[in-house]
Amino acid sequence: MAKLNFGGVQENVVTREEFPLEKAQQVMKNETIAVIGYGVQGPGQALNLRDNGFNVIVGQRQDSKTWDKAVDDGWVPGETLFPIEEAVKRGTVIQYLLSDAAQIALWPTIKPHLTAGKALYFSHGFGITYKERTGIVPPKDVDVILVAPKGSGTSLRRMFLAGKGLNSSYAIFQDATGRAYERVVSLGIGVGSGYLFETTFKQEVYSDLTGERGTLMGAIQGIFAAQYDLLRRRGHSPSEAFNETVEELTQSLMPLVAENGMDWMYANCSTTAQRGALDWWKKFRDAVAPVFEELYDSALPAKSTSAPSIPTASPTTAKSRIPN
Ligand SMILES: NC(=O)c1ccc[n+]([C@@H]2O[C@H](COP(=O)([O-])OP(=O)(O)OC[C@H]3O[C@@H](n4cnc5c(N)ncnc54)[C@H](OP(=O)(O)O)[C@@H]3O)[C@@H](O)[C@H]2O)c1
């Protein structure tokens, strides 16, 4: 396994050079991978696996537009597309990619088909980490593994089609067969990961909840709203407030950060912008630091007074959320 230096810490990383696709295909040659759920991660992972030469079937409830989407993507009813229970019966690897709420609801249907030697695969540590509350307690004789792509299933697919890989984390919760490692890494490569970073189910869920409630979605939405509202209250037009809050960040500055890092983005801004940002960033860090502490603690079952809410229903269908 390769070691990469991240900020002075040596981390275990699996790369496509040391674990090539051909090796992954060899490991999985006798497996049927049942991708259960065709929302956001489901299509990205299932299509990438199929295009990478793995034996894949999809499980999806039938009376749903999502079933039609799977058909449109080339999954054939009765051959590679089945109702959920039938797909779980047929699969030797069950990629449990229903919404987290549906994973809880469908667990009693899934569990009886998790026979000895199968693998149960997640892309989020949620169901297992909070198993006392979700009720998702796998049988002892199946592997329980995780590959969590660090991004939307839509990005996973787009990057695959562009010949690139999205970084993922991977974890093993239970190694019943002695094959959990080769299975999880093979699947990680197969779904289109770039680098695969080692983690645990708990660390994945705590960091993921922090990220999505923090800088990736919740915090950024909060900062957008605060700045936009301020500019509007102080007499700026909606377009000016929008451009200065959202447009410039998403269209100009974040692409520069993605390309070459924060210093590169700074280097491409005016000296006035650099000076102002250097004067202000620590004030923002210090203002939000206590909120981040509260946020992280809220994910820890032991410390939490308000443990993360278990989702109960999807607010929208997956199809309506994916831009075409
Ligand atoms: N979204 C991402 O890109 C992303 C990124 C990393 C990890 N993950 C993880 O990947 C997993 C899947 O997430 P996702 O965002 O892809 O899920 P999602 O889009 O919310 O999942 C929707 C899937 O669940 C099915 N479903 C919902 N309620 C159901 C019910 N009551 N009975 C049967 N099927 C039901 C949907 O079918 P219908 O369409 O018929 O409702 C659809 O197939 C989750 O563990 C998530 O945390 C997601």
| 113 among known catalytic residues | no
Best of 98, 169, 187 for a ligand 1 pocket test (most atoms within 8 Å of beta carbon): 98
pLDDT of residue 286: 98
Query: pLDDT (tens digit, 9 = 90+) per residue, 243-288?
Result: 999 999 999 999 999 999 999 999 999 999 999 999 999 999 999 9
Q: DSSP states of 183-204 as a string?
A: HHHHHHHHTTEEEEEE--HHHH
153 lines ligand 1 (CB under 6 A): yes
61 lines ligand 1 (CB under 6 A): yes
User: CATH assignment of 2-200?
Assistant: 3.40.50.720
Q: Which residues pair with 10 in a beta bridge?
A: 5
Q: DSSP states of 98-125 as a string?
A: S-HHHHHHHHHHHGGG--TT-EEEESSS
> What is the Cα–Cα distance from 307 to 316, expressed in whole angstroms?
24
The residue annotated as part of the active site, out of 69, 124, 157, 183, is 124
Of 311, 314, 303, the C-alpha closest to 134 is 311
Q: Residue 113: pLDDT band by 50, 70, 90 thresholds? A: very high
Query: pLDDT (tens digit, 9 = 90+) per residue, 86-105?
Result: 999 999 999 999 999 999 99
Name the average pLDDT for the chain.
93
Of 215, 247, 218, the C-alpha closest to 231 is 247
Tell me how far the alpha carbon of residue 317 lies from the centroid of ligand 1, in angstroms. 9
Q: Which region among 216-225, 228-237, 309-318 has the lowest average model confidence (pLDDT)? A: 309-318
pLDDT of residue 322: 40
Q: What is the rounded average pLDDT of the residues 149-171?
A: 96
45 lines ligand 1 (CB under 6 A): no
165 lines ligand 1 (CB under 6 A): no
Q: Which residues pair with 121 in a beta bridge?
A: 95, 145
Q: Whose CA is nearest to atom 40 of ligand 1?
A: 64
> What is the Cα–Cα distance from 305 to 292, expressed in whole angstroms?
15
pLDDT of residue 39: 96
Q: Is the pLDDT of residue 324 over 60?
A: no
pTM score of the predicted model:
0.89
